């Protein structure tokens, strides 16, 4: 229950809450409502028909699989990066720390162009990989690269503070009990950063599901092969089929919400244990 009567020393609870709620409504809830309103033009069967169109279904698969692989790659590299940033003091550490946020700061279209220039057959990496028989640009691999690039900071920034807060004594105690370095990492460090790590990967995953700008430049956008779901929405919009666009968007939205919910529930249960709120 909201209790307006119980005020602290600082005034302005009503005003600040009101403005916050208004903002959240305008920026988050209203667009979602708009989406649902658009959907109301369709019947259930039309809706079902739009979202199960084979080309759209293929895009789900491409998007999900790519996002999953990208977030796993980020899980590993992000953890390594966070580890390096927290555990070692080296020349240029702060610069590296700042660079981690670059994918957030960079317009995703810029990232997309840069990536496709690098990985294309006439770029820097492209020719080398071509000789090995690997094509990245304009294939699903390109999608993974773009997704991994744009969502890397999530894992680093989730894990980093937890790793920083981890008391050195925990590891020292484990070592004194006879644990090897690897054993300490697996039994002491990993369980402590696990929730943050998973959150970071989940955020990276959901972000990858929705990424558009960086991907379309490098993906090649071949139907059934390298078309992502966001692109399907875009195509429907260009056809002025707003209802169909909304229908596909609703599927993406639902998937993201379910994922966030699942992660939160799981994390809550795990944190309860650590914080003793059983």
Partner 1 sequence: MSIRLSNISKTFGQFQALQPINLELPKGQFTALLGPSGSGKTTLLRIIAGLEHADQGQIFLDQQDVTRQPIKDRQVGLVFQNYALFRHMTVADNIAFGLKLRKLAKAEIHKQVMALLEMVQLPHLAKRYPAQLSGGQKQRVALARALAINPRVLLLDEPFGALDEQVRQELRRSLRQLHDQLGFTSVFVTHDQQEALELSDQVVLMSHGRIEQQGSPKELFERPQSRFAFEFLGHNNLFQGQLQHQRLVQGQAWLQLNATSSATSEQGTVLLRPHELSLANQASEQAHLPMQITAINLVGPQVQIELEPQGWQSDKPWQVGISHQQFHQWQPERGQLCFAVPHLAHFFASHDSPPQSLRFEQLSKSSQLVDERQLAYNSLT
Q: Which residues bind partner 1 (CB under 8 A)?
A: 167, 169-170, 172-180, 183, 187-188, 191-192, 273-276, 278
Q: Nearer to partner 1 by C-beta: 92 or 167?
A: 167
Q: Nearer to partner 1 by C-beta: 162 or 244?
A: 162
The alpha carbon of 16 is separated from its chain's Cα centroid by a whole number of angstroms, namely 30
What is the CB-side half-sphere exposure of residue 178 using CA atoms within 13 A?
Answer: 0
| Smallest distance from partner 1 to CB 95, Å | 24
| Smallest distance from partner 1 to CB 170, Å | 5
Q: What share of the chain is helix, strand, coil (3-state, %, to 5)?
A: 75, 0, 25
Q: Nearer to partner 1 by C-beta: 164 or 241?
A: 164
| Smallest distance from partner 1 to CB 269, Å | 12
Q: Nearer to partner 1 by C-beta: 30 or 274?
A: 274
Q: Kindly report the number of other CB atoms within 10 A of residue 139's CB atom.
A: 18
Q: Kindly report the number of other CB atoms within 10 A of residue 206's CB atom.
A: 21
Q: Nearer to partner 1 by C-beta: 188 or 237?
A: 188
Per the CB < 8 A criterion, the answer to whether 56 and 251 are in contact is no
| Smallest distance from partner 1 to CB 97, Å | 24
Q: What are phi and psi of 180, to 5 degrees?
A: -80, 170
| Smallest distance from partner 1 to CB 79, Å | 17
As given in the structure block, the two tokens for residue 250 are 């609703």
As given in the structure block, the two tokens for residue 83 are 């580890």
């Amino acid at each position: 229950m909201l209790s307006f009567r119980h005020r602290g020393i600082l005034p302005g609870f009503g005003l600040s809450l009101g403005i916050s709620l208004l903002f959240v409504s305008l920026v988050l809830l209203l667009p979602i409502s708009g989406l649902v309103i658009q959907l109301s033009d369709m019947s259930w069967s039309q809706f079902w028909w739009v979202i199960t169109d084979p080309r759209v279904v293929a895009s789900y698969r491409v998007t999900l699989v790519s996002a999953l692989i990208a977030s796993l790659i980020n899980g590993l590299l992000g953890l390594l990066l966070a580890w390096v940033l927290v555990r070692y003091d080296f020349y240029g550490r702060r610069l590296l720390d700042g660079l981690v946020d670059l994918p957030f700061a960079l317009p995703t279209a810029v990232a997309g162009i840069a990536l496709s220039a690098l990985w294309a057959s006439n770029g820097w990496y492209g020719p080398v990989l071509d000789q090995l028989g690997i094509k990245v640009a304009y294939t699903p691999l390109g999608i993974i690269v773009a997704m991994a690039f744009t969502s890397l900071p999530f894992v680093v920034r989730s894990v980093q503070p937890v790793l920083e807060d981890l008391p050195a004594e925990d590891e020292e105690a484990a070592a004194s009990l006879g644990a090897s370095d690897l054993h300490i990492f697996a039994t002491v460090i990993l369980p402590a950063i696990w929730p943050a790590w998973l959150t970071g990967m989940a955020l990276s995953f959901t972000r990858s599901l929705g990424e558009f700008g960086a991907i379309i430049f490098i993906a090649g956008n071949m139907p059934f092969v390298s078309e992502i779901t966001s692109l399907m929405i875009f195509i429907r919009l260009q056809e002025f089929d707003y209802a169909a666009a909304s229908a596909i968007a609703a599927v993406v939205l639902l998937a993201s919400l379910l994922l966030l919910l699942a992660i939160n529930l799981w994390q809550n249960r795990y944190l309860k244990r650590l914080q003793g709120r059983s």
